[in-house]
């Protein structure tokens, strides 16, 4: 299992990566980061991406 951290997880590309990682058998989402003060800090990355809780 490869652990992955997504930078910019609340953006379009980051959200897509979170969605793909949720469905992957070989990769696991280990962390998701966003810029300081971003409105989505503290929320679940999967919920932000629209793919359910991670």
pLDDT for 20: 94
Number of independent structural domains in the chain: 1
- Which is it for the CA torsion 28, 2, 18, 10, positive or negative? positive
* 54 assigned to some structural domain: no
Report yes or no on 18 lying in a domain: yes
Asked if residue 35 belongs to a domain, the reply is: yes
CA dihedral 49, 44, 30, 14 (to 10 degrees): 30
For residue 15, is it within any domain?
yes
Residue 28 lies in a domain: yes
Does residue 53 register a pLDDT over 90?
no
Task: Supply the pLDDT for residue 52.
Answer: 82
Residue 18: domain span: 2-49
Residue 21 in any domain: the answer is yes
Tens-place pLDDT, residues 2-50: 999 999 999 999 999 999 999 999 999 999 999 999 998 999 988 888 8
């Amino acid at each position: 299992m490869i652990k992955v951290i997504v930078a910019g997880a609340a953006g379009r590309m980051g959200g897509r990566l979170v969605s793909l990682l949720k469905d992957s058998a070989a990769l696991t989402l280990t962390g998701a980061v966003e810029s300081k003060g971003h409105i989505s800090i503290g929320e679940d990355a999967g919920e932000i991406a629209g793919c359910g809780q991670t």
